């Protein structure tokens, strides 16, 4: 497992530590994001973790994704959590007893999996792997197109902040504030058993998270006419940029397995057109989440606005704008490192609280990937270096204070290790 000069893998202490964290978080079938805070398998984490594993053990990388796909619903949705049997209910809230859908949750997460599957295949998982996962990954996209396209324009809407992956982002404050949480059933948070309350969401936010999940559960997780029932309904630029990147990846996978790439190319064109037209807030000159309940853009300078860099067909003028915004003082501390998850200059910027300011390895990695595809390797390299700088100072934490590198959230966090490995291998 450990790298050696003859294996061709990096032998830096950082790479060794990253491999050791993945190995320690491996359960035999998949990787827990964290042994303490997140003791099950999470959807988009699995994609990042598979990319990390692809550098260490391609068979495990394939198994990671295929374990997750084993939890896929008949309607094609990939649940945001696949619960592990044998982990006590009290280990994580909301657990399987809350969701009441066997061993899975009922909401989804950003569809980054086709991108991960291609990365895994490139590093030797073999053509049979792609043949196995292709129909399932295509089904995930079909689900989003069929059930989450609330405006009928090609975008996928989210019904819960947890579906964004950036759960506690200030971008969701206004849509969440409009949700009446007075009817929420009693519950007990478990995250505070393992993490500092100053790093985690507030109780008011949790009440709304729980209430939204309960409402969806009461409907049997039927999407139906989303605009008629969902108290939270947002089109998120990050979710949709990954949906688009996934459509491109699916076209490539289809071509490799002898299926027809044309439907995926058509889907990509449609998502691209809708992203560029519908999620561009002309008034502020930026991409923004669209709140389908309030019928307006969310007016927050948040990292999700930079994610359309992942669109390979983004017009050059918009690439330039996003790249300048990313490198501006709103997101980049000249004395620190990495892109902050929220505007550093905003009055409610919080440098250490979950998604409300800290830098994260996965958002650095995604933005670097987008920049590289647009020929901005210079800025991408700065982001990669920033991630390494943060990990060298703060350890393999879940997130970091971008000014100091101090680590927060969970320690020995899998996607931080996985993406550091990907950076070092490159
Ligand atoms: C809820 C596992 C997950 C990540 C999310 C991150 C956090 C969960 C939580 O942890 O969310 O899904 O309990 O806070 O926000 O992006 O997938 O690492």
> Model confidence over 167-219: pLDDT tens digits?
999 999 999 999 999 999 999 999 999 888 888 899 999 999 999 999 999 99
| Ligand 1 center–CA 14 separation, angstroms | 24
CA–CA distance, 174 with 34 (Å, rounded to integer): 30
Report which of 279, 296, 303, 80 is spatially closest to residue 170, judged by C-alpha positions.
303
| Ligand 1 center–CA 165 separation, angstroms | 6
Q: Which of 8-17, 137-146, 149-158, 208-217 has the least mean pLDDT?
A: 8-17
* Confidence (pTM): 0.97
In this model, does residue 3 exceed pLDDT 60? no
* Residue 307 · residue 182 · CB < 8 Å: no
Tokens of 266: 């058509």
DSSP string covering 3-40 = --GGGTS--SHHHHHHHHHHHHHB-SSSB-SBTTTB-S
What's the mean pLDDT when you consider all of the chain? 96
* Residue 305 · residue 288 · CB < 8 Å: yes
What pLDDT does residue 125 have? 79
Active site residue 325: no
Q: Report percent pLDDT > 70 for the chain.
A: 98
Residue 33 in contact with ligand 1 by CB distance below 6 A? yes
What pLDDT does residue 303 have? 98
Predicted confidence band of residue 338 (pLDDT cuts 50, 70, 90):
confident
Q: What is the mean pLDDT of residues 265-274?
A: 98
Active site residue 167: yes
* Residue 105 · residue 79 · CB < 8 Å: yes
Residue 45 in contact with ligand 1 by CB distance below 6 A? yes
Residue 79 in contact with ligand 1 by CB distance below 6 A? no
Q: What is the mean pLDDT of residues 72-80?
A: 98
CA angle, 118 then 107 then 257, to 5°: 25
Residue 194 in contact with ligand 1 by CB distance below 6 A? no
């Amino acid at each position: 497992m450990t790298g050696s000069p003859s294996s061709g893998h990096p032998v830096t202490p950082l790479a060794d530590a990253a491999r050791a964290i993945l190995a320690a978080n491996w359960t035999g079938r998949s990787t827990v994001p964290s042994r303490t805070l997140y003791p099950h398998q999470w959807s988009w984490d699995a994609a990042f973790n598979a990319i990390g594993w692809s550098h260490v053990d391609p068979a495990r990388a394939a198994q990671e994704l295929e374990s997750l796909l084993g939890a896929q619903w008949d309607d094609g949705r990939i649940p945001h959590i696949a619960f592990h049997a044998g982990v006590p209910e009290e280990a994580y809230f909301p657990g399987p007893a809350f969701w009441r859908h066997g061993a899975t949750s009922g909401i989804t997460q950003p569809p980054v999996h086709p991108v991960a599957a291609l990365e895994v295949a490139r590093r030797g998982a073999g053509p049979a792997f792609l043949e196995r996962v292709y129909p399932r990954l295509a089904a995930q996209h079909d689900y989003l197109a069929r059930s989450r396209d609330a405006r009928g324009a090609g975008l996928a809407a989210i019904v819960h902040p947890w579906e964004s992956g950036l759960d506690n982002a200030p971008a969701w404050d206004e849509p969440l504030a409009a949700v009446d949480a007075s009817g929420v059933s009693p519950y007990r948070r478990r995250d505070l058993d393992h993490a500092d309350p100053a790093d985690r969401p507030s109780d008011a936010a949790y009440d709304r998270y729980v209430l939204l999940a309960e409402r969806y559960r009461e409907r049997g997780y039927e999407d139906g006419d989303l605009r008629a029932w969902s108290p939270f309904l947002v089109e998120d630029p990050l979710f949709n940029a990954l949906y688009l990147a996934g459509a491109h990846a699916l076209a490539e996978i289809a071509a490799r397995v002898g299926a027809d790439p044309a439907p995926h190319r058509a889907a990509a064109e449609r998502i691209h057109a809708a992203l560029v037209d519908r999620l561009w807030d002309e008034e502020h000159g930026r991409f923004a989440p669209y709140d389908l309940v309030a019928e307006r853009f969310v007016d927050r300078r948040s990292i999700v606005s930079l994610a359309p860099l992942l669109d390979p067909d983004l017009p050059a003028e918009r690439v330039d704008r996003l790249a300048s915004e990313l490198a501006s003082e709103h997101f980049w501390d000249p004395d620190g490192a990495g892109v902050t998850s929220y505007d550093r200059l905003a009055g409610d910027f919080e440098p250490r609280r979950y998604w409300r300011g800290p830098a994260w390895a996965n958002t650095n990695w995604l933005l670097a990937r987008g920049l590289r595809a647009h020929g901005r390797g210079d800025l991408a390299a700065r982001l990669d270096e920033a991630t390494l700088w943060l990990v060298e100072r703060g350890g393999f934490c879940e997130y970091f204070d971008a000014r100091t590198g101090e680590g927060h959230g969970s320690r020995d966090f899998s996607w931080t290790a996985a993406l550091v490995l990907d950076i070092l291998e490159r």
